[in-house]
Structure 1
Amino acid sequence: MGVVDIYTDKDVWSGRIDDDTNPASFRFHQVVQVKDLDELKASAGDFGIVGFESDEGVRRNKGRLGAREAPDAIRKQLAKLPYHFGGQTVDTGNVQCEEGNLEQAQVKLGRHVAGILEAGSVPIILGGGHETLYGHYLGARAYIGPDKTLGIINIDAHFDMRNDPEPSSGTMFRQILEEDDKAGYLCLGIQAFGNTKALFETAEKHGSAYILEKDIGVNDFHETFAAIDDFSKRYDYLIVTLCTDSIVASAAPGVSAPSPLGLDPKTVRALLTYVAGKRHLLSFDISEVNPLVDERDKTVKLAAHLVAETMQNFHS
């Protein structure tokens, strides 16, 4: 069995109870319902969570392993947070990569993401290495069909456009742009010394837009938000992905490739909040959280807060 679906243990959704009768006092663990995908389709929620238990792409990219542990680790921290928005959130479990069969796992994740969208819910995808994004993309493309245009916004220090012999956590955007002439790519937070000159040339060859880390937030984000607007208006639909190694290592040490000059967490929150407000945004994934190399759950906790912030601001 190369790839299987596993359903989340309800025990990960537990935490403090201030009041078990007043919804205004509820935390995530008191609201989230654990259902399989068929149950979600029968009774849709506003958000559908799915995890991707994979770090095979990171292994192929010669990174630090451990991201496959992230989905449930993020859930445990998310469970404790106050639930500050209306609507129903359903946890549909994890897609698991086994025996190194990344390509099959990505297809499985794509089907799962498409199923959440078809149920009328917003997919919230908990990676996993950044190879999660390719499965995320497959699901969005399957849902919108072949003729609609799709813009992909990536908050990342790296282009992830490597021309390697096999797919990995460093190849997804080149794969997509070479396969899909109706897809476009905007990367926010690129680091000059996180990418070779050849990767900058690859990005330009494929018409990719990007903003360097040092230029994010200039002029009170006016230029950054204008660039997001300009990119977004060219596409029928958007998806957004956050690679956690875009965040400064002091705040996010638990990633495959820590960044000493990464983005401040509040900057990342501002970017996600702005993108989440786009009415044609379909879905969100967070990737590259690695609990095995984290420091006192610092990165996992930050990931949970960024997930909650993005959900709160979705289509706001």
Structure 2
Amino acid sequence: MYSMTEKQWWSGRVDHATDPAYFRFHQAIQLKDIASRKRDNDLKGSIALIGFSSDEGVRRNKGRVGAAKAPYEIRSVLANLAYHLEKLSIFDVGNVSCIHQQLEESQEELGKYMHYLLQAQSTPIILGGGHETLYGHYLGARQYVNQTTKLGIINIDAHFDLRNDFLPTSGTMFKQILEQDKYAGYLCLGIQKWGNTQALFQEAAQYQSNYILAEDVANDSQTIKLIDDFTKQHDYIIFTLCMDAVEATAAPGVSAPSPLGLEPKIVRDLIRYIVAKPNLLSMDISEVNPVVDENNKTVKLAAYFIADAMQSMQNRKNML
């Protein structure tokens, strides 16, 4: 179900009412209703934030629910960050919510709005939601490009999400995609050996998935080369960040915390590098769970990651 974002989520400190040099995000974000999905020239060249309020996939995956609240909580933190993106137009275009446990329908709806935003030549950033967010993200991107276009998916995650379950969950998306789409490719950065069974490593090999273990991500040259090679092998890429890839001391508010996860600065550097790629279509950030967070740590970190991503997108636009 689609709904427009309420202004209350974009409020905060005002140091100056009219001088952009003093602005925070809440003074620069524009709210837009896209329910009709009519042609809108205002979106061209913009960044569009869209929420996916769902943790049904997490529930089905026997995880800790609460991620459905994340899109709103991330906005409330992002609202008060200092604004340094004066060369960008940024819209909040609302939310798609999963109601009555109808995950598949809500993923399809998210896909339709993603397709609309991409057609409008906007760069969407999805605020998840459980990692089931990624499947709706993919549906929109695949609909936007033709069916034989090589579409690469870069995932920063502790888990492969290649599970074989009876129903779609927050752990099945990549298996769903790779089984049905021979033109899709998969690169995962940050895999935890103790968080994935041998069977899942075998699944990754079967689908010719590329990955780097969390302990090896800090090897900059190896990681960068893999990202570069993967990006060049695909016509377009989409990017998804699962916050459980981050070490639990910095990101405790997730369904499955990672004691030996990636350092936030490493994740930030990866985000900056990936979203600067000229063939990037869109990104999502998933698995933030405000219900189990500690002092809003994970929500704040997610907001900072999004701000950094937008900064890199601005730099990319300046270079094109």
TM-score bracket, normalised by the shorter chain, equals: over 0.9
How many aligned residue pairs are there? 311
Structure 2: which 5+ runs fail to align?
Answer: none
> 1:184: Cα distance to partner?
0.1
Distance (whole Å) between structure 1 residues aligned to residue 178 and residue 83 of structure 2: 37
Report the equivalent of 1:266: 265
Deviations 1:168-192 (A, max 9, x none): 0000001100010110000000010
Distance in 2 (alpha carbons) for counterparts of 1:56 and 1:49: 21
Instruction: List runs of 5+ in structure 1 lacking aligned partners.
Output: none
CA deviation profile, 1:191-250 (whole Å, cap 9, x unmatched)? 1001000000000000000000000012xx111001100111000000000000000000
Structure 1 residue 40, shift from structure 2 partner: 7.6
Paired residue type of 1:228? I
- Give the corresponding residue for 1:15: 12
Kindly tell me: are residues 210 and 168 of structure 1, through their superposed partners in 2, closer, same or farther at Cα, counting changes over 3 Å? same
CA RMSD for the aligned pairs? 1.1
Q: TM-score, normalising length from structure 1?
A: 0.97
Matched, 1:157 2:158: yes
- Aligned to 1:43, the other structure's residue is in SS state helix
Listed as ranges, the matches of 1:139-218 within 5 Å are 139-218=140-219
Native 8 Å contact 1:41 1:116 kept in 2: no
The 2-side partners of 1:266 and 1:93 are apart by 29
Shift of 1:145: 1.9
Distance 1:144 1:20 in 2: 42
Q: Take 1:145 and 1:15, find their aligned partners in 2: how far apart are those partners?
A: 42
Name whichever of 145-154 and 59-68 sits farther off.
Answer: 145-154
Corresponding residue for 1:126?
127
The verdict on how the C-alpha distance between 1:52 and 1:40 changes in structure 2, with shifts beyond 3 A counting, is farther
Counterpart for residue 29 of structure 1: 26
List per-residue Cα deviations over 1:89-125 (Å, max 9, x = no partner): 0111100100111000000000011111111110010
Taking the TM superposition and a 5 Å limit, the aligned residue runs for 1:4-153 are 4-37=1-34, 38=37, 41-44=40-43, 46-85=46-85, 86-153=87-154
Q: Is the 8 A contact 1:245 1:255 kept in 2?
A: yes
| SS at 1:270 equivalent | helix
Output the CA distance in 1 between the equivalents of 2:96 and 2:43.
19
Partners of 1:127 and 1:102 lie apart in 2 by 13
* Aligned partners of 1:151 and 1:231 also within 8 Å: yes
Percent identity (aligned): 57
SS in 2 for 1:271: helix
* Separation of aligned partners in 1, 2:123 and 2:41: 15
